[in-house]
Amino acid sequence: MRLESEFKRTGFFSTPNNPEKQFQGTLTISDGGDIELEITTIETDLMTLDDYHIGRLIGNLEKAGAVTLDDCFYINRNVAFGAPATSRIRVGRATIGAVYEAEEETVFSEFSFSIEGIDDWLRTSGIKVEHSENTATIMYEPQQPIIVYSESGCEISICFAYTIPGFPTYSEAKITQSAYIKISTSEPQCFSYFTDIAYKITNLLCFATACSLSMHSVNAKVPGSSTDSGESIKVKLFYPSLPFSESKPDVKRHGLRFAYPQIRDRFPDILKKWLDDYELLSPAFNLYFSTQNGTHKYLDSKFLSLMQGLETFSRRTHTATQMDPEHFHALTLQLLISCPSEKHDWLFGRLQHGNEITQANRIKKLIEPFESHFGDKATINSIVRKIVDTRNYLTHYDSAAEKRAAKGRNLWILGQKLESIFELNIYKRLSFSDEDIVNICKFGNLKQKLCLLLE
């Protein structure tokens, strides 16, 4: 979670079961959503001496009001012996604007958040500027929400917040518009339900923009509650959301893989396909995105993560085997019957995955729909062989295979090829047409990756 500036407030805190016994402390939320509470006291603090897990805390913050802190535990506990002692507590989630009971579930009916770079990706604005000889006119027409998903009691929409000039405006008039995502449900849902969807949507925009983006400005509505005006109570949420990169992304319009106007009519279908696919392909997607956000500092670890991700992608989307499964089962039984009993476990372990296709065939099948973009048969075979040899060496570090493995620039090129294979297969899963993919391969980063040649 991106924070423009550190959030730091003093307040009074207690456990829900003992709200009368309050402790003064300082709550700090830093960039990335890391939350820490410091409590200074001269008496026995929140929990017994042998208990480092706290669970839920409630409190009242200066300038912010009510707060509920969940998933709390001590990271540094000091016991007071007549003099003030300060303890540090790690907090998993902060809900500002509401206080919950000890066992009360945190549920919401609406969850909204923004994503870095979303306005550059949307390219949608209600701001219009007109110039004449001696005058300039700035107009703003509020944009209507765009519903992009509606299924099983869940609605996802792209909404637009805006500010307009106040009065009087003698020297400056400013209009701003910012987009955000809103998830609404017909029935209250738990915190993890919303964060799971938000994580998937953020990763989709990471893929679309070719940048590592972070969420910010997370708000939610509490069902069954209302303010004096009758509106549902809104709370601010802070937690260490993923993905997150310490450096802010530089989203360039010419660097986007695809922008919203290009897929406007198809975006609801693309989003549904993405959310459905994430259930099946989350391990593969997570491995891919781990190579895009700066997690891997070395070429070999990045290469292995891409290979592991592609292998997982292949296993979950292709059912090809070396031979007919029934024939393989019969062959396995025949071999086990002929095998000495003391070697059964050893042989069974060897045969358990014996009908799976080879690594080389997995990569070839993933390249197959896009062969024309990778070169002729000889070039593809050379790339695949080098990928497999390098994967085997980096997995087992067998000295006999070291000479066949790629190093230096060639290892980097193989990593670029693996990224290309991944990206093209994601486009295919998102129902981009062959014509769309041909056009995508003509420009930008993907074209550069496909044109690289091994030395």
| Amino acid at position 265, single letter | D
The token pair at 336 is 């086990």
Instruction: Give the per-residue pLDDT at 232.
Output: 82
- What is the rounded CA–CA span in Å between residue 291 and residue 257? 17
Instruction: Spell out the alpha helix ranges (H) of 229-298.
Output: 267-290
Q: pTM higher than 0.75, yes or no? A: yes
Instruction: Give the per-residue pLDDT at 282.
Output: 95
Q: Report the residue count for the chain.
A: 455
Instruction: Give the per-residue pLDDT at 136.
Output: 85
Alpha carbon 140 to its chain centroid, in Å, reads: 33
Helix orientation angle between 267-290 and 299-317, rounded to the nearest 10 degrees: 140
The token pair at 282 is 């989350």
Give kind and range of the element (H or E) at residue 150: strand 146-151
Residues forming beta bridges with residue 14, ordered by sequence position: 58
| Amino acid at position 231, single letter | E
> Which of 287, 266, 296, 254 has the alpha carbon at shortest distance from 121?
254
Residues forming beta bridges with residue 189, ordered by sequence position: 108
3 state SS of 109: strand
> Which of 304, 114, 117 has the alpha carbon at shortest distance from 212?
117
Please state, as a whole number, how many other Cβ atoms lie within 10 Å of the Cβ of residue 419.
19
Instruction: Give the per-residue pLDDT at 179.
Output: 96
The token pair at 299 is 């070429």
The token pair at 220 is 């939610």
Pairing outcome for strands 85-91 and 34-41: antiparallel
| Amino acid at position 105, single letter | E
Mean pLDDT of each 10-residue bin along the chain, 455 residues long? 95 92 93 94 64 89 95 84 81 96 93 96 90 86 94 95 79 88 96 97 96 96 77 93 90 89 94 94 95 89 96 91 86 88 88 86 95 93 96 92 93 96 96 91 88 88
What does the domain layout of the chain look like in residue ranges? 7-96, 107-196+216-238, 285-320+357-451
DSSP code string of 124-147: ---EEEEE-SS-EEEEE-PPPPEE
Instruction: Give the per-residue pLDDT at 50.
Output: 62
- What is the rounded CA–CA span in Å between residue 4 and residue 25? 23
Instruction: Give the per-residue pLDDT at 231.
Output: 78
The token pair at 437 is 């993919």
Query: Which residues lie closer than 8 Å to 81 by C-beta, 6 or more apart?
Result: none
- What is the rounded CA–CA span in Å between residue 61 and residue 9? 6
Give kind and range of the element (H or E) at residue 195: helix 191-209
Instruction: Give the per-residue pLDDT at 170.
Output: 65
Please classify residue 90 by burial: count the beta carbons closer than 10 Å to its beta carbon, then call 0-12 exposed, 13-18 middle and 19+ buried: middle
Burial 284-300 (b: 16+ CB within 10 A, else e): bbbbbbbbbbeebeebb
The token pair at 186 is 């017909």
